[in-house]
Amino acid sequence: MTCEKRLEYRADIDYLRALAVVAVIGFHYDLPGFGGGFVGVDVFFVISGYVIARLIWSEIGAGSFSFVRFYERRARRLLPALYLMILSTGVVAWFVAPPDYYRMFFGSAVSALLFSSNIFFWLQTGYFDLPTVGKVLIHTWSLSVEEQFYFLFPVVTWLWSRLFAEPTSRRSLGLVVAGTVALCVLNELWIKQSASAAFYVA
């Protein structure tokens, strides 16, 4: 089976993405029945993880994986829209935002460009604590988390493929399961210590 065949279009994934987006929008607009819509972000993360893992493993299996090509594709997909969004909101903020709020906006814009806005907002405030003008880029926290995943996961996956010639071997799957359980336990402990940190970082 060729790499292209394995990566044929999956309409069901796009349907799940659409449902996740609708859930998040419904939650933010306080629509009835969407009280738990924030989980749409988690659904989106899982979908992205699946798609990226599927892409990387198929290319590794075909002997065609390239870090440069992987990051170049991610940049073309995400950066133009991010730059346009920050530029347009920055122009509006320059004219309408009070100085203190504009300084907050500028800091969040820089952190978004550095894919660290999740850490920026974690250190600044809770998700719903900032005044509206000061948190126009707060949604970029999820993009930063996703980009951090894009930076780390290909490296980990490539190293894993070098350690395990057969990634579906019993030993490999056992380590994946053990690591997943350990991360879940760590996240639960983190939530008890600092829910805000767990929200933005974990």
Domain that holds residue 85: 78-163
- Same domain? For 151 and 186 the reply is no
What is the value of pTM for the model shown?
0.82
pLDDT value of residue 139: 86
Same domain for 82 and 156, yes or no, is yes
Q: What is the pLDDT of residues 34-57, one digit of tens each?
A: 888 888 888 888 898 888 988 998
- The reply to whether 180 and 158 lie within a common domain is no
pLDDT for the residue numbered 134 = 60
Domain tally for the chain? 3
Q: How many residues does the chain have?
A: 202
Identify the pLDDT of residue 126: 59
What's the chain's Rg over C-alpha atoms?
A: 19
Check whether residue 104 and residue 49 sit in a common domain: no
Of the residues 10, 35, 65, the one at which a domain ends? 65
83 shares its domain with 107: yes
Same domain, 30 and 60: yes
> Cα 139–143–146 angle (5° rounding)?
145
For 79-96, letters b (16+ CB in 10 Å) and e give eeebeebbeebbeebeee
pLDDT at 2: 40
Regions of the chain where pLDDT drops below 50: 1-5
Output the six-digit token pair for 34. 């969407």
Please say whether the beta carbons of 27 and 40 come within 8 A. Answer: yes
Q: Where among 9, 38, 65 does a domain terminate?
A: 65
140 within a domain of the structure (yes/no) = yes
Q: Are residues 35 and 103 in the same domain?
A: no
In a domain, residue 71? The reply is: no
- Domain assignment of residue 110, yes or no: yes
